[in-house]
Chains A and B, each alone.
Chain A
């Protein structure tokens, strides 16, 4: 596994991993999410939760590949929750609310030809995470933070 930088803070409270994401490289898209999925499987998380996180992570990774120049995926693992933070250097999202709508996409023709850019990315991420936070600065980049709780939260 390349690109792992694991660190633990405190008494086994949190583990962190970081993977780089390259913009425009669709062949490698999914590399970071795959590696994190492997780790989560080993940490005996519920398979159903892993699948939700895997889908959300992959969507976020593809967003970076499709829209940004470069980025990184960091995951913070604790027994209570999995937090994935995807940061990129790129054009940013002008209207986050609009981008969240199903079917809305600014993907280029080239990206769509590759079967991406259907405008389902962000809404799919939202569906598969418990907490979603997106911050974006035009011409600078975007930070997507997704949190999934490891145990079903009481309402």
Chain B
């Protein structure tokens, strides 16, 4: 099976350090030949590797901006965190007019669909009292993490599409209703993260995404920011701009989703927090929850790896804009023109996700007897590795190296300690003596011949 990954390692930039292999929550990276290598079926596109890379060798591929001009109607599907990048004195109208100036014909915020989604989630909870807790399908990195690391929880994932897909369906329908031929419409998502790109290019639980392309949020931010600065005085008027409601503006921030869901809900953000909780959930040790909002990034989408500005500032700015809504409303500046409600039934009909399959990366072998044999070998190898998880072999831990050896991906002699022993340059006793000062007495006793 082929997995599309948005994360790309630039070989010429990678210095082959071990930061990324240690940061990866699914042990998907190895250093081979002095460069980081990705094991495709393990990667969940969370971007943790990108955060820790000291030389920015990991990049996120995106569609070329000129691709939008392949379409007569060029729709930017923007997440609210895009608006949150801009200081408050730049109005959302100004930002949108900048986007139109830059080449889009329409701008539509993804979160317009969350009102309908809220209903769908609460209905699903009411109709399926046996499935608890239901885990949000919002964050594609979390969905993939569950598939590969917590396969027994796959059945808990909400089988309803994410706001992005619902908004795409809604806007496509709106334009079709206006008599625009579907093939002339190009929907482009402005993404704050790599996982959403993977979700568009190889969707889980649906055959094909309704989205035509993806533009990285920071790329667009830079473009728009310069457009706005250039046109400080005159900006074009945005026709019939729809207003996001305050709750919709903050949906993608931590807690923005859970607060609308009936019952006992939790909001969890950050990859390590999510893993810790899923671990407990799998053991059945966390009590009875109805719904889990779970996002891979700290501060949710405001903390996406393509979010240009600091996540706390982005979050604060969005909350401020949400508050501003009420002021504007009181002053009569806001027109209630939510077009999505006209197609409510159509969206609901098309909102279901297909089956989400588990695809465990932990299995040593499909066959249990073979897996047991491999396990035995792994334990044997682990027993004479140093156990300091230094990463010098290119695997993230000694245990991971042992697994790699048994799976034919590495050799035991990739371990520098073992290598010294095998090549016979220095006696192992000497090596152990040298390292005692750092690692303590008898630390590597297990590596000495009996």
Inter-chain CA distance A12–B373, complex, in Å, is: 7
Question: Which of B283, B362, B376 makes the CB contact (< 8 A) with A8?
Answer: B376
Q: Would you give the 0/1 interface string for B46-86, flagging 1 where the beta carbon is closer than 8 Å to chain A?
A: 00000000000000000000000000000000000000000
Chain B 304-343 residues near chain A, CB threshold 8 A = none
Chain A residues touching B, majority SS: helix
Query: Hey, which chain B residues are within 8 Å of A114, CB to CB?
Result: none
Whether A47 and B360, one on each chain, are in contact in the complex, defined by CB atoms closer than 8 angstroms, is: yes
Question: Smallest CB–CB gap between B11 and chain A, Å?
Answer: 31
Whether A43 and B368, one on each chain, are in contact in the complex, defined by CB atoms closer than 8 angstroms, is: yes
Question: Smallest CB–CB gap between A98 and chain B, Å?
Answer: 23
Question: Which of B283, B368, B373, B375 makes the CB contact (< 8 A) with A34?
Answer: B283
Q: Which residue of B lies closest to A40 (CB)?
A: B362
Query: Hey, which chain A residues are within 8 Å of B284, CB to CB?
Result: 51, 54-55, 58-59, 124
* B interface bracket (residues with beta carbon within 8 Å of A): 20 to 34
Question: Smallest CB–CB gap between B277 and chain A, Å?
Answer: 13
Inter-chain CA distance A97–B379, complex, in Å, is: 41
Inter-chain CA distance A114–B153, complex, in Å, is: 26
Question: Smallest CB–CB gap between A121 and chain B, Å?
Answer: 11
Query: Hey, which chain A residues are within 8 Å of B372, CB to CB?
Result: 8, 12, 15, 43, 77, 79
Inter-chain CA distance A54–B282, complex, in Å, is: 7
Inter-chain CA distance A39–B153, complex, in Å, is: 17
Inter-chain CA distance A47–B279, complex, in Å, is: 13
Query: Hey, which chain B residues are within 8 Å of A4, CB to CB?
Result: 379
Whether B358 and A47, one on each chain, are in contact in the complex, defined by CB atoms closer than 8 angstroms, is: yes
Question: Smallest CB–CB gap between B244 and chain A, Å?
Answer: 39
Question: Smallest CB–CB gap between A83 and chain B, Å?
Answer: 15
Question: Smallest CB–CB gap between A25 and chain B, Å?
Answer: 15
Query: Hey, which chain B residues are within 8 Å of A47, CB to CB?
Result: 151-152, 154, 358, 360
Question: Which of A39, A51, A79 makes the CB contact (< 8 A) with B369?
Answer: A79
Whether A115 and B371, one on each chain, are in contact in the complex, defined by CB atoms closer than 8 angstroms, is: no
Question: Smallest CB–CB gap between B281 and chain A, Å?
Answer: 10
Question: Which of B154, B283, B362, B369 makes the CB contact (< 8 A) with A42?
Answer: B362
Inter-chain CA distance A115–B369, complex, in Å, is: 40
Inter-chain CA distance A129–B371, complex, in Å, is: 23
Whether A42 and B152, one on each chain, are in contact in the complex, defined by CB atoms closer than 8 angstroms, is: no
Q: Flag whether A50 is at the interface (Cβ < 8 A).
A: yes
Q: Which residue of A lies closest to B282 (CB)?
A: A54
Query: Hey, which chain A residues are within 8 Å of B282, CB to CB?
Result: 37, 51, 54
Inter-chain CA distance A8–B372, complex, in Å, is: 9
Whether B371 and A43, one on each chain, are in contact in the complex, defined by CB atoms closer than 8 angstroms, is: yes
Chain A 15-58 residues near chain B, CB threshold 8 A = 15, 30, 33-34, 37-39, 41-45, 47-48, 50-51, 54-55, 57-58
With A12-B369, A42-B362, A44-B364 in contact, do A30 and B375 touch (Cβ < 8 Å)?
no
With A15-B375, A44-B368, A47-B154 in contact, do A30 and B283 touch (Cβ < 8 Å)?
yes
Whether B154 and A44, one on each chain, are in contact in the complex, defined by CB atoms closer than 8 angstroms, is: no
Question: Smallest CB–CB gap between A15 and chain B, Å?
Answer: 6
Question: Smallest CB–CB gap between A14 and chain B, Å?
Answer: 9
Inter-chain CA distance A38–B399, complex, in Å, is: 13
Q: Flag whether A147 is at the interface (Cβ < 8 A).
A: no
Query: Hey, which chain B residues are within 8 Å of A42, CB to CB?
Result: 362-364, 371, 375
**Chain A interface residues (CB < 8 Å from chain B):** 1, 4, 6, 8, 12, 15, 30, 33-34, 37-39, 41-45, 47-48, 50-51, 54-55, 57-59, 77, 79, 115, 124, 150
Q: What are 17 A-B pairs with beta-carbon distances under 8 A? A: A4-B379, A12-B369, A15-B376, A34-B279, A34-B283, A37-B282, A37-B283, A42-B362, A42-B371, A44-B367, A47-B360, A51-B152, A51-B153, A51-B282, A54-B152, A54-B283, A55-B284
**Chain B interface residues (CB < 8 Å from chain A):** 151-154, 279-280, 282-285, 287, 358, 360, 362-369, 371-373, 375-376, 379, 399
Given A8-B372, A47-B154, A150-B368: 8 more A-B contacts, CB < 8 Å: A4-B379, A8-B376, A12-B373, A42-B371, A44-B366, A47-B360, A59-B284, A79-B368
